[in-house]
Amino acid sequence: PRTIDALSREAHLIRDRRELLERQHQVGRIYQDKLGDLDNAERWYRSALDHDPNYVPALDALRGIAERR
């Protein structure tokens, strides 16, 4: 959780769009893969899609979550 808190705070400071998308995806993966928290993972992936609706890693991750549910 400390790592997630740090990455989350850092994500709010990132100005570069590509870096922001990657960080949001990274936080989503941690929630999904390390913590098994699909709700928070989905929230972070959707946040990336708010910035770029065509961001493929987030779209793929959301599809994977939908298939698991």
pLDDT in tens, 14-38: 999 999 999 999 999 999 999 999 9
Under 8 Å between Cβ of 8 and 27: yes
Lowest mean pLDDT among 13-17, 30-34, 38-42, 46-50: 13-17
How far apart CA 11 and CA 53 sit, in angstroms, is 18
pTM: 0.87
Q: Is the pLDDT of residue 60 over 90?
A: yes
Rg, the chain, Cα only = 11
How far apart CA 50 and CA 61 sit, in angstroms, is 15
More confident residue, 27 or 6: 27
What is the distance between the terminal CA atoms of the chain, rounded to a whole angstrom?
Answer: 24
